[in-house]
Amino acid sequence: MDSNTIKDPYPLEWDALFAIVTPLFLAGADQQQVELRASSLRGALRFWWRALAWSGIATPDEPSVKVKLARIHEIETLLFGFAGSQKNSRQSALSICIEPCPRPGLGSLKKNEKDAILGASKAHGAYYLGYGLMEAFDNQQKNRKAGQLLRPCLESGQGFRVKFRITHPTSLSATLKQDFDTAVSLFEKALHLYGLLGGLGSRARRGWGSLRLHKLSGRTQEFKRADTPESYKAAILDLLPSPLSADEPPYSAFSQRSRIDILIPDTNDAMRVLDEMGRAMQRYRSWGKNGKVNGKPSEKKFRKDHDWSKTYQNKNYNHSTGPYKNYVPARSIFGLPHNYGKIYEKNNRKTLGVKPSEAGKDRRASPLFLHVHQLASDWFIGVSILFTARFLPTDKANVSILNDRRDYTPNWDVLTNFLDSTPANPNHSSYFPDKISVFP
């Protein structure tokens, strides 16, 4: 063998151990059967890979968004594969195998178990963030208690092992080989970042199913768990591309417009962190009942949204000419659909809400992520990630309200005010008085 021959490093392998920090809701075809799915983990890692790729993949000077997206897509398919036609499809180079740890399985909580997650405490903030997975409030009509599960979940405080393997695709040109190496390098960073910021399953963007990377071995940089908020911040900054793009990303991706904050820097219980973040969001967003939100005076920050919704209960109100003509609720920026409950229109019961108007696209996931992370010191922190990016895929953002199409300009201040502002009433405590900025 030629002494100058470089040994092919492939296949590459990683052995990772993930810990479940907050209860995880994940299932397959049967939504009442908990199931850890490799395809779901692959999708989550692909999201974080893409989030890094917008700024992390070199492109020609000042390319158009279309050219840049095509370049990212080309490199992405080398690693994750592409289900195209028989002629241009590509098999994934990444294989994932999940093993519950400890064997033979993971402990789970079943549907309808009363207070199974949070004990006797009334953690309405956590319930609020888990809307649809559990009862947010006592439901006397259905004889259910607040926090009672509507779907089963995996309990926190346990873990699972994942084996990742990347094989080198055959018949690649020299240029594509370089691109493949770029894809693999980004995957390593995405894996580390996922272990710091990521989650899995339903309501993962609201802190449920938060994961942390506990151990990592194989072909990787030295892995060391962060033990303080400061070392956690340093670990994240070390993984972000430099420089970050100044352009608005066309999808959820890191750029100079993104931000990461440690909202709650030191608490000894994961569910308490989740509950505190949820209560803060409730105080900020909710109108409340009888002037109260969780027993505290309502701040009523979005009075116009509230008053607009009430006009639909007035049969004499003319929405085509009234003061709320073409109005879109400010809180739509939290994600779509943004619903206000049932109304009757011409004797037909309908859901009053905001949704994307583009055919076949009825959702826009929230650009604001919440995450609960367990440090090596066993303290827990609450983290937010805000991806400021194009809100809807079309150049001209349109939404639909009861089949009425309206122009929509996202107001990102609604989200940044939640992260930064203090309540208008000086007698109310701040949302996150000990917040630590990670980026910028």
DSSP letter assigned to residue 34 = B
How far apart, in whole angstroms, are the C-alpha atoms of residue 285 and residue 76? 37
- pLDDT, residue 79, reads 96
Contact 169, 23 (CB under 8 A): no
pLDDT tens across 349-383, in order? 888 999 999 887 889 999 999 999 999 999 999 99
Residue numbers in the chain where pLDDT is lower than 50: 1-6, 103-104, 114
Q: Identify whether residues 61 and 210 lie together within a single domain.
A: yes
DSSP state for residue 144 in the 8-state scheme? B
d(CA 292, CA 286): 9
Q: Give me the pLDDT at residue 3, please.
A: 41
- Tally of CA atoms within 13 A in the half-sphere of 392 that contains its CB: 27
Asked whether residue 140 is assigned to any structural domain, the reply reads: no
- Asked whether the bond before 356 is cis by omega within 30 degrees of 0, the reply is no
Residue 241 covered by a domain: no
Element (H, E) at 76: helix 65-80
Dihedral angle, C-alpha 298, 302, 304, 310, nearest 10 °: -60
Q: Residue 138 falls within a domain, yes or no?
A: no
Radius of gyration of the CA atoms of the chain, in A? 23
Query: Which pLDDT score, from 0 to 100, does residue 1 have?
Result: 39
Beta-bridge mates of residue 385: 260, 369
Same domain, 218 and 274: no
Q: Which structural domain, as residue segments, surrounds residue 185? A: 12-106+157-223
Is 390 in the same domain as 269?
yes
Q: State how far the Cα of 438 lies from the Cα of 228, in Å rounded to an integer.
A: 13
DSSP β-bridge partners for residue 399: 356, 406
Confidence at residue 319, expressed as pLDDT on a 0 to 100 scale = 78
Count of domains observed in the chain: 2
Residue 415 in any domain: the answer is yes
For position 196, which CATH number holds? 3.30.70
269 and 213 within one domain: no
For 144, other C-beta atoms within 10 Å of its C-beta total: 17
> Tokens 């997206």 sit at which residue?
69
Residue 105's pLDDT is: 56
Phi first, then psi, for residue 393 (nearest 5°) are -65, -25
200 and 372 Cβ atoms separated by less than 8 Å: no
Would you list the DSSP string of 344-388? Answer: EETTEEEEEEEEE-STT---B--SEEEEEEE-TTS-EEEEEEE--
Same domain, 169 and 73: yes
Task: Answer yes or no: is 341 within a domain.
Answer: yes
Q: In terms of domains, do 51 and 166 share one?
A: yes
- Using alpha carbons, select from 37, 197, 47, 206 the residue that is nearest to residue 132: 206
- CA proximity to 330, closest of 276, 408, 407: 408
Q: What is the pLDDT of residues 408-434, one digit of tens each?
A: 999 999 999 999 976 656 666 689 999
The position carrying tokens 């010191």 is 377
Asked whether residue 391 is assigned to any structural domain, the reply reads yes
In a domain, 148, yes or no: no
Token couple for 175 = 């240029």
